[in-house]
Amino acid sequence: MYLPTLTRRTFLTRTAAFSAGAVLPVLGLRNAQAASIREFRLKASPGRTQLVPDTYGNTPVWAYNGTVPGPAIRVRQGDRIHVVIDNGLEEETTVHWHGVRTPNAMDGVPHLTQTPIAPGETFTYEFDAVDAGTYWYHPHLNSTVQVGRGLYGPLIIEESEPVRVDRELIWVLDDWRLTGDAAISDDFGNPHDLMHNGRIGNTVTVNGRVPESIAVRAGERIRLRLINAANARIFGLDFANLEPVVIALDGQPVTPHAPANGLVTLGPAMRVDLILDMTGRPGSRVSVVDRFYKGQEYRLVDLAYAEAALRKAAPDWPLELQDNPLAEPDLGDAIRHEVTFNGGMMGQMIMAEMGGSMGNEASGGMMGNMMNMMHGRGIWFINGKAATGHVMDPLLTVPRDSTCVLAMTNATAWHHPIHLHGHSFRVLSRNGLPTTHREWQDTVLMAPREKVEIAFVADNPGDWMFHCHILEHQAAGMMGVIRVS
Ligand code: C2O
Ligand code: CU
């Protein structure tokens, strides 16, 4: 298991005395300390990496600084982050800091918040690490291909008072569609993936490798930061008898709790921070199994206990993280919007379309129709609209600093991880039942036909993307813009 981390040699740290006002203009931290400027450089370019065991050969990928995942960017809460992105690809790119409440111009959305970074050009992103937690970075341009070929990495913002553990692990999960010679299948964006549950692959990696086992010690406490970087695969991890405790979702602290139905569920782009007490016997093994898709369970990785125990019983250290400086929604004075997601295979719009022209050979039959819809009006819709070009009129406009409630309905037959940029939102209810762990998220997984209510204070001005993070759904129309002004 190998996860590259930038070392002192590859970045410079400068300490600068900032007034809290200068560093954290809108979202001020309680603690006005001297912050550091942390400088990083990431070059996106083609490379090769060993995703699968040697015997299959290595895989041509696109990577940041030559590794998949890209280097872990690790800073302290309150630091200011400078990242120079060097585009060594043969196409335009941008970088989005998923889940981080950056100023709008630093959000990395092409044609909305910035001009794309041309091949051979650089762009410098600069923002404050306002909220502690587990985040990640990835391109926001031609994402099905760019993320799907390996461009992504973890962004960890450390708490000033982290929970006490013996060891911390980051697992960046990904799912690849590989051919027999370990190459990435180049059927990106095919109509079947667009209309169904996205590009589900055949090879799952942890930190860019098909994992074998991870060494653990009886009695140790691990903080596991899980990041789902897959285009489309949803994970539902079963940690057997380990009784994991969820302490944060999408970077934001929650009331520590056991995962629902015993499965740690992560849609694409979602993060879960877990506390794992290794309660097994020295010398034994335990398998982590993914059970999300019924009938397609598989062993993700084994945890292998060393012969010597670290301690006899699990420690009783506190599990609670301190809250981030998020504004609490004022539900008594909220602006409410209904948002309905539609489309996809078995969705009403597509079926009507196909019913009307099925058997019409002149139009190229069913596949031809799908292609037309894909390139023309889209396959997935938000409030009846599919985004198919660069220019997007806002789906909603929300007055700055107001509380906005989105009452969302998934009217499709598919799961969708719904992501809002620039804000974290409270998940208030699912199918009318209030949530119970003070969930703050930036990406919420909606089951088929599910209704989910979220609320946020629109305190970050600008045009923000709101989209499904199954990247094929996003590409086929399932995105819009929420304007905070
Ligand atoms: Cu992780 Cu709009 O993206
Ligand atoms: Cu979707």
- Structure ipTM: 0.99
Q: Percent of the chain, pLDDT > 90?
A: 82
Banded model confidence at residue 22, pLDDT cuts 50, 70, 90? very low
Banded model confidence at residue 34, pLDDT cuts 50, 70, 90? low
Q: Which ligand is nearest to the CA of 143?
A: 1
- In a domain, residue 413? The reply is yes
Give the ligand 1 atom nearest the CA of 479. 2
Are both 149 and 38 inside the same structural domain? Answer: yes
Report whether residue 98 contacts ligand 1, using a CB cutoff of 6 Å. yes
Distance separating the N- and C-terminal Cα atoms of the chain: 46
Q: Which residue has the tokens 């119970």?
A: 436
Q: What is the dihedral of CA 388, 393, 398, 399, to 10 degrees?
A: 150
Are both 141 and 171 inside the same structural domain? Answer: no
Look at the chain and report how many structural domains it folds into: 3
Give nearest CA residue, ligand 1 atom 3: 98
- In a domain, residue 399? The reply is yes
- In a domain, residue 114? The reply is yes
Give the ligand 1 atom nearest the CA of 99. 1
Report whether residue 38 contacts ligand 1, using a CB cutoff of 6 Å. no
pLDDT tens for 337-376 read 999 999 988 765 555 555 444 434 334 445 555 555 555 6
Beta bridge partners of 455: 405, 426
Report whether residue 473 contacts ligand 1, using a CB cutoff of 6 Å. no
Report the separation in Å between the CA atom of 424 and the middle of ligand 1, taken as the mean of its atom positions: 13
pLDDT tens for 58-93 read 999 999 999 999 999 999 999 999 999 999 999 999
Q: Which ligand is nearest to the CA of 471?
A: 2
Are both 335 and 480 inside the same structural domain? Answer: yes
Report the separation in Å between the CA atom of 419 and the middle of ligand 1, taken as the mean of its atom positions: 7
Task: Tell me which residue range forms the domain holding 421.
Answer: 331-484
Q: Give the pLDDT confidence score for residue 378 in this predicted structure.
A: 84
Are both 477 and 406 inside the same structural domain? Answer: yes
- In a domain, residue 41? The reply is yes
Are both 150 and 191 inside the same structural domain? Answer: no
- In a domain, residue 125? The reply is yes
- In a domain, residue 136? The reply is yes
Rounded CA-CA distance 482/298 in Å is 39
- In a domain, residue 120? The reply is yes
- pTM of structure: 0.89
Within its chain, how far is the Cα of 131 from the centroid? 16
Task: Name which of 482, 472, 480, 483 is nearest 386 in CA terms.
Answer: 480
Structure tokens at 476: 């086929």
CATH of the domain at 421: 2.60.40.420
Report whether residue 271 contacts ligand 1, using a CB cutoff of 6 Å. no
Are both 68 and 201 inside the same structural domain? Answer: no
